[in-house]
Structure 1
Amino acid sequence: MSVWPAWEVREDGGTTSWFHVRLAFTDGARIDVLAVVSGGCLSLEDVRARPALPLDDLPVLAEWIEGPLSEACGAAPEAGEAGARNRARPAWPGGIEGRWLVAREYRAAQEGGVDPVLAVMCATGHGRRRSLRLIAQARDAGFLAPGHARR
């Protein structure tokens, strides 16, 4: 696997960086990714694979590139997690305050017309499953309307 910077934009005190990531396998298969890092959030702009990559494998792809991409961005590995994923998470409060903040992020994303789950993922630094759990906890605490009518 190789990771190299493509370009970087600095604006309003923040930085948005694009990186090329290439995974080459011994059988000749190859995956090229254009990843964007901005405000502590990572998104994949473009994924090209030969042979084609099934959609079910995208979460695995994210896990494969996460560590090398974090190193390329200058994020230090977390102490005490040898061999685990390297993930720099922003400090996020727990308990009722954390649930309220999750609800606030969720509602702001809805009002802005963007994916609310992705907004919570970016804000908390957690993956999709953990973010969905946090959203459910915010609903249970009464900070968000029920997601669907129960029968």
Structure 2
Amino acid sequence: MSVRHSWVVNEGGATTSWFDVRLAFADGARVDALAVLSGQDLRVEDVRAQPPLSLDDLAVLAEWLEDPLFEACVPAPAGGVPAASRRARPAWPRGREERRLVAEEYRAAREEGGDPVLAVMRATGHGRRRSLRLIGQARDDGFLTPRRARR
């Protein structure tokens, strides 16, 4: 995997940087992505793959890119002290309490007309698959209504 700094825009004290990311595999397949760092927010803007990625591969792309991209894009803290965790997930309880809070986030997003899965992803810091699994577990525990009528 290679990460190359492409360009920087400084505007009004804010800095936005773009990075070209290439992930090459032994079988000749490759993934090219454009990542944008704005403040402490890092996003993948564009992805091109040869051969094209399946939906499952696209879902795990962030996991493939996450650590090398953060190492290249996010500067280390001043004083040379390494960051405790570049994968800063919000503090979130586990078990039954976790599923109760997931249900609250899900319901609040539905009431506001937003995407409930995205709301759970933001609250927990987990990806889509893990968030969907948590939502399903919240349903199983009775915190959310069943998805379909059982026969």
Structure 2 stretches of 5 or more lacking a match? 77-82
TM-score of the two chains, using structure 1 as the length reference: 0.64
CA RMSD between the two structures: 3.8
What's the TM-score, normalizing by structure 2?
0.64
CA distance in 2, matches of 1:41, 1:134: 25
1:73 aligns with 2:78: no
Given that residues 20 and 32 in structure 1 are in contact (C-alpha distance below 8 angstroms), is that contact kept between their aligned partners in structure 2? Answer: no
Tell me what 2:79 maps to: none
Q: Which residue in 2 is equivalent to 1:146?
A: 146
Gaps of 5+ in 1: 79-85
Moved more, 22-31 or 112-121: 22-31
1:2 match: 3
What is residue 62 of structure 2 aligned with on the other side? 62
Query: In structure 1, the residue corresponding to 2:145 is in which secondary structure?
Result: coil
- Aligned partners of 1:6, 1:141: CA distance in 2, in Å? 49
Identity of aligned residues (%): 60
Higher relative contact order (CA 8 A, sep 6+): 1
Q: 1:95 to 1:29 in 2, by over 3 A?
A: closer
Instruction: Report the residue type matching 1:2 in the other structure.
Output: V
Identify the residue that residue 81 of structure 1 maps to in structure 2.
Answer: none
Q: 1:105 to 1:35 in 2, by over 3 A?
A: farther
CA distance in structure 2 between the partners assigned to 1:8 and 1:110 by the alignment:
38
Match of 1:101, as an amino acid?
Answer: L
8 Å contact 2:3–2:69 — kept in the other structure?
Answer: no
**TM-aligned CA deviation for residue 65 of structure 1:** 0.4
Count matched residues: 139
- CA deviations 1:53-109 (Å, max 9, x no partner) are 33332134222101122332358465xxxxxxx632211012443222211211222
